[in-house]
Structure 1
Amino acid sequence: MELEEMKLAWNDLSKKVEKQEILNQQIIEKMTKDQYQSNIKKIALPEYIGTIICYLGAAYLSVNVPKLDEPLIQFFGVISIALLLILPIISLQSVRAMRKINLSSHSYLEALQVFGKQKIRFQKLQKLNVSLGMFLMVIGVPVLMAIQDKSIEFSSLFWMLYFPLGIMFFLGFSYWVLKYYNRKLKATEKLLTEVNE
């Protein structure tokens, strides 16, 4: 009788341990998904704020560019508006692709591979955005100066000091943002790698 009771107790204990392992795995998966989404949200929030700023800038230029007299400045204004509308689309599409990775529909190894591909794509698109942002700055400054009725030819202090400082600030800020994004992406990749081990 004791042997039979021991077998039953052993079976009960085995079932409880098995249920506990399944429960622990589910908790780990949920925590991983939550941390993954949290890291991606930390990247997405600045992109959403940048999108609002770009669209406000495009609206401002849309109202003021038709008032300009010089055709070249109007052309630069139209290109600036187009860039202000395109830049957020590129950013938001790359963030959306990162958010769409479904950790539960893939094995963690597959999720890590998909994440790696999206990470590389995201980084390339961010570098493209920095390049387009620099181009926007170069062609947008004459447009903004024309809107404010300031001459771009005779402002040597602007072109010798303020504009180069603005370029340096833009590049420094872009470098800082890309570095921040890369830190968040590495933390996310490390999270997925640790779960896979």
Structure 2
Amino acid sequence: MELEKMKNLLEGMSDRIEKQELLTKNLIENVTSEKYHSKLNKLRYSEIIGAIICYLGAIYLIMNFIKIDPLAEKIFAIIAIGLLLILPLISLKSLNGMQKITISSKTYLETLNNFEKRKIKFQKFQKLNVSLGLFLILISIPVLSAIKGVDLSKTENFWILTFPISIIAFLGFSFWVIRSYNKSLESTEKLLAEINN
């Protein structure tokens, strides 16, 4: 009789321990998921600010399209407007894909593999955006000079000083952004790796 009571007591304790482990595991997954999305939201806010700037630039070009006179500059303006509308969509869509990852210790390896694939895709899109952004600057120069009615060939020190400094500043800022994004993604990946521990 006492042996039966001990057996029931041990089974009851075992069930409670299993339930406690499951609750702890779920709690860890929820906290990790919140931290994961919080880190990615920081990137999202930066991208949203960039998207707003791009859309304002596109609106500015559309509103001043009538002032652009030569046909070549009009074609450049159309390309610039297209880039200003498309670049933010590329970034936000790739970032949105990373935020849709389901975090679960049951599929830990799948979660890490999925994150790694989406991270690489996001990084490729960021590099593409830098290249297209540089192209955007190059085609925007004649467009903006046409809107302002400025002849760049008569502007003193534009090609020698202003243009190279603008390109260097753009590239410096772009590489700083990419580096900070990569650091943020690395810390997010470390956070995911903690699920397994």
TM-score, with length taken from structure 2? 0.93
SS at match of 2:144: helix
Q: Percent identity?
A: 51
Distance in 2 (CA, whole Å) between partners of 1:179 and 1:64 is 35
After superposition, residues 31-110 of structure 1 pair within 5 angstroms as 31-104=31-104, 107-110=107-110
Q: Do the aligned partners of residues 105 and 14 (structure 1) sit closer, same or farther apart at CA in structure 2, a change above 3 Å counting?
A: closer
Structure 1 residue identity aligned to 2:113: Q
Structure 2 residue identity aligned to 1:124: K
Give unpaired runs (5+ residues) of structure 1: none
Aligned to 1:20: 20
Distance in 2 (CA, whole Å) between partners of 1:122 and 1:137 is 22
Distance in 1 (CA, whole Å) between partners of 2:118 and 2:82 is 26
Aligned to 1:167: 167
CA contact (8 A) 1:101 1:114 kept: yes
1:105, CA displacement in angstroms? 9.9
Structure 2 residue identity aligned to 1:113: N
Q: Do the aligned partners of residues 18 and 121 (structure 1) sit closer, same or farther apart at CA in structure 2, a change above 3 Å counting?
A: same
Structure 2 residue identity aligned to 1:51: A
Distance in 1 (CA, whole Å) between partners of 2:6 and 2:55 is 72
Structure 1 residue identity aligned to 2:122: F
CA contact (8 A) 1:109 1:196 kept: no
Aligned to 2:115: 115
1:182, CA displacement in angstroms? 0.4
SS at match of 1:102: coil
TM-score, with length taken from structure 1? 0.93
Structure 2 residue identity aligned to 1:22: L
Give unpaired runs (5+ residues) of structure 2: none
CA contact (8 A) 1:39 1:188 kept: yes
Aligned to 2:185: 185
The size of the alignment, in residue pairs, is 197
1:133, CA displacement in angstroms? 0.2
